[in-house]
Amino acid sequence: MDAVKQFGQYALLMYQGLRSFTEFSTYRKNLFSEFVKIGYESIPIIILTGVFTGAVLTLQTAYQLDTDLYPVTIVGSIVGQSIIIELAAVIGGLVLAGKVGARISTELGTMRVSEQIDALESMGFNSVTFLVVPRVLAGVFMFPVLYIIAATMGVIGGLIAGQLDGILPAAEFMQGARSFFYPEDVVFGIVKSFVFGFVITSISSFKGYYAFGGAEGVGNATTQATVLSCIYVLLSDFALAALLL
Amino acid sequence: MIEVKNLTKSFGDHLIWEDVTFDISDGETLAIIGKSGCGKSVFLKHLNALLYPDSGKIYIDGKDLFNLTYAELRLMRQNFGILFQGGALFDSINTFENIAFPLRYFTNKNEEEIRAEVDEALELVNLKGIGEKGTSELSGGMRKRVGLARAIILKPQYLLYDEPTSGLDPKTSEEINELIVHMADKLDITSIVITHDMHSVLSIAEKVAFLDEQKLSWYGTVQEMKESEHPPLVDFITASEYQI
Ligand SMILES: Nc1ncnc2c1ncn2[C@@H]1O[C@H](COP(=O)(O)OP(=O)(O)O)[C@@H](O)[C@H]1O
Ligand SMILES: [Mg+2]
């Protein structure tokens, strides 16, 4: 029952956001700063995540495959495709569920319990337009960009690990990766990261926006926001795979 | 003119108060008193439709507050200024920008006019020249005064104060009380002050509404309050005098 009520409240919040999303002048400034916070400031962690995912995957693939039976370039193919279809988007999504989700829910939760949201409303602002819309918009725009960075860095990480570990030379890694490179896979990854961007920013906005009960309330909201974000990233990943692959 | 009619509010099955009815006339200063946790802040939020009641109505200048469309409500809210309990300053911008905030979004004033108005508001609350300070550098009393400057910047008709003196030392409380009286005179504002500080009630209010035992327990003028023999009110006043 509570879950149904929560979902209703969430849907209503999204609907309110959708209806007011043409009031661009209200949230223009906030949108720009969210682009920076969600996008630009996530680049370092995304590079790190991408590089290590690619590197580990290369070592494991080489270990699991008996390369006497296959051409060694297959390591590049497997790593490249796995990164592009699945890992860059999902691992990136989970990392950002922590980083971006926690920030949004803490920020909005603090504004709620210190009555800053009431203050906005009482001045005649639509607080949803002002606070939620720019965060969700920045999420759906920036996550695909971050995905592309993560995927590129993943391939580079794999390539470097392959070379350093003496598994296969960089040129052969790239040859393998290129021979199994399909632009549709990139489109799929972009769609996924777009969905993850929406899921994470909307859930954490929702949890923060409706936080109550002081510092403890903000803590609870943030915990729920990050946990739910992770769960829904995994669920939507599965749903999209079932739907689109 | 604000008319509160048969207002009832509960959260889940926790009843806050029921059947609250009284009027607030233009230009008067009303104090709403009651023990901590009796639902004073909840009541204040109803006056601005930040919360909705289970039943009952509030009419503001004849308009049914809880039946306005959201667009109408946003216009209606601009007739109100609210000083929230902790100031509710936006911590992502400095003091000056906090006060300038409503002006930037709701008026077409240029930078020079905005600066002049913010400076005037800061002077009114005795905080000249602190505009560049970040909100975290301000003391509790200063935060409230900045919140007050922001609340009056659009020249509201109604000014609501949530515990304006709580958490302040006696001297600063006194200054805030003087400020409330000054605002009411100078800006010709209808003020509604929530407080549990009897000292403050005596120095600012004309009318008093006492919330107790989940209802409007007593309502009258300050003079009537001093002479009242209504037992819960007498208890409340006696208990507070010990605190002063
Ligand atoms: N959003 C809310 N959800 C549930 N309960 C609330 C909410 N806001 C206030 N309450 C409860 O309503 C009661 C009255 O609170 P409040 O109006 O803040 O008291 P006070 O008179 O001290 O200002 C408290 O018991 C509080 O826990
Ligand atoms: Mg209160």
Give yes or no for B71 touching A (CB within 8 A): no
CA atoms of B159 and B4, how far apart (whole Å): 16
| Inside any domain, residue A228 | yes
Torsion of CA A93, A96, A102, A107, to 10 degrees: -120
| Inside any domain, residue A54 | yes
Give the Å distance between the CA of B87 and the centre of ligand 1.
18
Question: What is the model's pLDDT at position B94?
Answer: 95
Neighboring chain A residues of B102 at a CB cutoff of 8 Å: 123-124
Question: Count of CB contacts below 8 A, A vs B?
Answer: 46
| Inside any domain, residue A156 | yes
CA atoms of B72 and A61, how far apart (whole Å): 63
Question: What is the model's pLDDT at position B15?
Answer: 97
| Inside any domain, residue A11 | no
pLDDT in tens, B176-225: 999 899 888 888 899 999 998 888 899 999 999 999 999 999 999 999 99
**Structural domains of chain A, count:** 1
Residue identifier of the C-alpha nearest atom 26 of ligand 1: B37
CA atoms of B226 and B134, how far apart (whole Å): 43
Q: How many helices (H) and strands (E) does chain B have?
A: 9, 10
Q: Distance (Å) from the C-alpha of residue B224 to the closest C-alpha of chain A?
A: 33
Residue A241 has pLDDT above 80, yes or no: yes
Give the residue from B171, B96, B111 showing the smallest Cα distance to B141: B171
Q: Distance (Å) from the C-alpha of residue A240 to the closest C-alpha of chain B?
A: 37
CA atoms of A139 and A38, how far apart (whole Å): 7
Give yes or no for B154 touching A (CB within 8 A): yes
Nearest residue on chain A to B86, judged by CA atoms?
A114
Does this complex have an ipTM over 0.95?
A: no
Residue identifier of the C-alpha nearest atom 7 of ligand 1: B11
Residue B241 has pLDDT above 80, yes or no: no
The kind and range of the H/E element at A194 are helix A183-209
| Inside any domain, residue A79 | yes
Domain around A124: 27-244
For the question of whether the overall pTM of this predicted structure is more than 0.80, the answer is: yes
Give, for ligand 1, the residue of B42, B51, B193 to mutate: max count of ligand atoms closer than 8 Å to Cβ. Answer: B42
pLDDT in tens, A28-58: 999 999 999 999 999 999 999 999 999 999 9
Tokens 């509790």, residue located: B140
| Inside any domain, residue A4 | no
Which is more confident, B43 or A65?
B43
Q: Where are the alpha helices (DSSP H) in A65-131?
A: 74-82, 88-113, 116-122, 127
Ion ligand 2: residues, CB within 5 A, are B 41
Question: What is the model's pLDDT at position A89?
Answer: 96
Neighboring chain B residues of A118 at a CB cutoff of 8 Å: 45, 50, 82, 84, 88
Give the residue from A111, A135, A145 showing the smallest Cα distance to A201: A135
Residue identifier of the C-alpha nearest atom 18 of ligand 1: B41
Give yes or no for A119 touching B (CB within 8 A): yes
To the nearest whole percent, how much of chain A has pLDDT over 70? Answer: 99
The average confidence (pLDDT) of chain A is: 95
Q: Could you give the 3-state DSSP secondary structure of residue B209?
A: strand
Question: What is the model's pLDDT at position B186?
Answer: 84
CA atoms of B68 and B71, how far apart (whole Å): 8
For the Cβ of B45 lying below 6 angstroms from any atom of ligand 1, the answer is: no
Residue B244 has pLDDT above 60, yes or no: no
| Inside any domain, residue A120 | yes
pLDDT in tens, B150-178: 999 999 999 999 999 988 888 889 989 99
